[in-house]
Amino acid sequence: MNRLSLYGLNMQKRLNKVKDIVDQQLVLNNEKVADALRELADSGGKMVRPALFLFFADFGDNKDEDKLLKIAASLEILHMATLVHDDVIDDSPLRRSVITVQSRYGKDVAVYAGDFLFTRFFQLLIETMNGTEYMEVNANAMQNVLTGELDQMHNRFNLNETVEEYLKETEGKTAELFVLAAVQGAYFGNADEKIRKVAQKLGKKIGIVFQIYDDILDYTSSKEELRKPVMEDLSEGVYTLPLLIVLKDHRQKLTDILEVKRALTVEQAKQVTKMVNEFGGVARAKELAKEYSDESLDLLEQLPKGTASRELKRLVQGLVDRKF
């Protein structure tokens, strides 16, 4: 899956402009940090959040495209900030086939690089929406993302984590930004109240689908397809949906292997991955994702027909088919 398959030509053009705005924000004296951030930006993110924002903006009549593109860029920059800090925490060597900021330049650079992006995010907000209630909506969303991350960290190596807890964490750490993107799109695009309500619900569901598929890929992809190390979550104690699903019926077998925690070998991780597939964890996670994506498609029916809703449908379907 790439941008080409997810979006129509017009959206691709607009996302290229969003990317230009993002690039302009990455200018700073420190060359190490500037290079690292440019590499991350260039490594081909799917820009799902800016796209979601722009699709929802299209349901309204606001024609201030410059402003809309800047807000779209602020979403991508906030997302990048969280990625950079997540990689510090996970000690991840790769992200989108590219060496992560912290593994190339050290965690020192990565911590400040993330902070720098948070600052740029706020500067873009101030530029586009100073004085509006959406300043607070953005700050609160950022807080919820962090709280979601913290909850997930708290649950590391917790073999008693429930599917409900997983979904709650996902609502924070992933779905929150999707909701923010969709709701802000409807608001700043000047769409009517009814569309804003659909945006709220749809953002959440799409975010959950996105995260579940992210987690499924950890159990099904090769390193080449995924463009980041597979089975990384397991050795970090991050137990995601496919594993949590099968833990209930096969607890003993899995615990016997996972109890070594960080000392998990690659061989053992492969064993767990195999079990999670054989016991049906992946299949059942896909079923759950399918439920959320079906609900998303139902919600889409409540939106006015046209290019935006057609492309949103294509995006939802694309997320379910993705390989990375």
Residues forming contacts to a copy of itself in the complex (CB under 8 A) are 28-30, 32-33, 85, 88-89, 107-109, 111-112, 114-116, 118-120, 122-123, 126, 130-132, 135-136, 139-140, 142-143, 146-147, 149-151, 153-154
Min separation Cβ 196 and a copy of itself, Å: 21
Is the CB of 37 or the CB of 217 nearer to a copy of itself? 37
CB-based contacts of 204, cutoff 8 Å, min separation 6: 171, 175, 178, 179
Min separation Cβ 21 and a copy of itself, Å: 17
CB 277, CB 220: distance < 8 Å: yes
Is the CB of 110 or the CB of 289 nearer to a copy of itself? 110
At 127, list the tokens. 């530029």
CB 149, CB 172: distance < 8 Å: yes
Min separation Cβ 63 and a copy of itself, Å: 24
Is the CB of 29 or the CB of 222 nearer to a copy of itself? 29
Min separation Cβ 134 and a copy of itself, Å: 10
Is the CB of 119 or the CB of 160 nearer to a copy of itself? 119
Min separation Cβ 114 and a copy of itself, Å: 8
Is the CB of 142 or the CB of 312 nearer to a copy of itself? 142
Is the CB of 78 or the CB of 186 nearer to a copy of itself? 78
Min separation Cβ 282 and a copy of itself, Å: 28
